[in-house]
Amino acid sequence: MRRAAGLLLAAILIAPRAAAAAGAEKEDVLFAKLRGRIERSDASLDGVLGVYVQDLKTGRSLAVRPDEPFPTASTIKIAVLYELYRQSAEGKIELGEATRPPLPRVRGGGVLQELGDQVSLTWRDMASLMLAFSDNEATNVLIRRLGMDSVNRRLDALGFKKTRLRRQMMDLEAARRGDENVSTPAELARLMVALRDGDALDPARAKDMREVAALPRWDTLSSKPAFLSGLPEGVRVLEKSGELEGVRASVAVVELERRPYVAAIMTTHLRHDADGDALVREVSAALFDTFDRLDRASDLGRIISER
């Protein structure tokens, strides 16, 4: 009798582990097919692609050239946002303090370039313009106030040795000298996770930073940024994209309830910029297609929740 009871207990304990192992094997197959989709996109691109994707539940990652430096375009603005909130936590800057952006102002994106010389905005307002409108002048005002060296020292402290803020926005002379803002897909993704998690910040400040990072995007009036266009409506996303001639980049945390993930997609040497937009959209859709199924499925793959 005792032996039978012991066997039954062992079966009860072993069964969940066996089911989990079977589920993991099936996820291996699913991720292998996702990797194949990304590699086919890479092979068809007339340019160079870098990708880093991580499942924030399991830590599993997929990568294409994850440690090679790429131009960041406007994705570097998340480093500026993170530094703003860290300096706020250290008492070096007050988010609610107002400032008056000087003239002249750089163009190339945003709304400050259209406003008069009497406009007064808080530092948090500047951050909101930087993220929601990708405002280049708001970014430059923040960089000058925070200090470019301070941003880079923070990146060093976080372990991001290849991510560098080397110039202000629209500084073509600096770009011609080779002072390009750079990161790698792996570092850019991890930086977004640090921002999402609010590393070293109190809960209220971390929550406010995430809200700024998740603001609706208004910098492209005619269409969504490519990464967001690969997602259905209603998905909460912390995202920043950027574009330069020959360059398209995007980094995002997609906040699925059970399987959140981070993705950095970077391209350079593009023959056609539209191809970069199409690839970012294609990879974003492929990632969501996979993680959405994992988010809504049982360990064995049965879909058990409504979208």
Using one digit for the tens of pLDDT, what is the confidence trace for 38-56?
999 999 999 999 999 999 9
Using one digit for the tens of pLDDT, what is the confidence trace for 198-221?
989 999 999 999 999 998 876 554
Confidence at residue 23, expressed as pLDDT on a 0 to 100 scale: 64
pTM value surpassing 0.85: yes
Q: Are residues 209 and 195 in contact, defined by beta-carbon separation less than 8 angstroms?
A: yes
* Structural domain span for residue 198: 31-296
Residue 214 domain flag: yes
150: left (phi over 0), alpha (psi -120 to 50) or beta: alpha
C-alpha span between 249 and 244 (Å, rounded) = 9
Residue 4 domain flag: no
- How many domains in the chain? 1
How many other C-beta atoms are found inside a 10 Å radius of the C-beta of residue 19? 13
Closest C-alpha among 51, 54, 45 to residue 278: 45
Residue 21 domain flag: no
Task: State the CATH number of the domain containing residue 94.
Answer: 3.40.710.10
Q: Which of 31-35, 164-168, 222-226, 248-252 has the lowest mean pLDDT?
A: 222-226
- Per DSSP bridges, beta strands 98-99 and 61-64 are unpaired
Per DSSP, the three-state class of 14 is: helix
Give the angle 78-222-126 at the CA atoms, nearest 5°.
Answer: 30
Residue 189 domain flag: yes
Token pair, residue 164, equals: 């560098």
Residue 240 domain flag: yes
Residue 271 domain flag: yes
Using one digit for the tens of pLDDT, what is the confidence trace for 284-294?
999 999 999 99
Residue 212 domain flag: yes
> With the CA atoms of 123, 124, 130 and 133 taken in that order, what torsion angle do they form, in degrees rounded to the nearest 10?
-130
Q: What would the mean pLDDT of 154-172 be, rounded to a whole number? A: 95
Whether the predicted pLDDT of 102 surpasses 90 = no
Residue 147 domain flag: yes
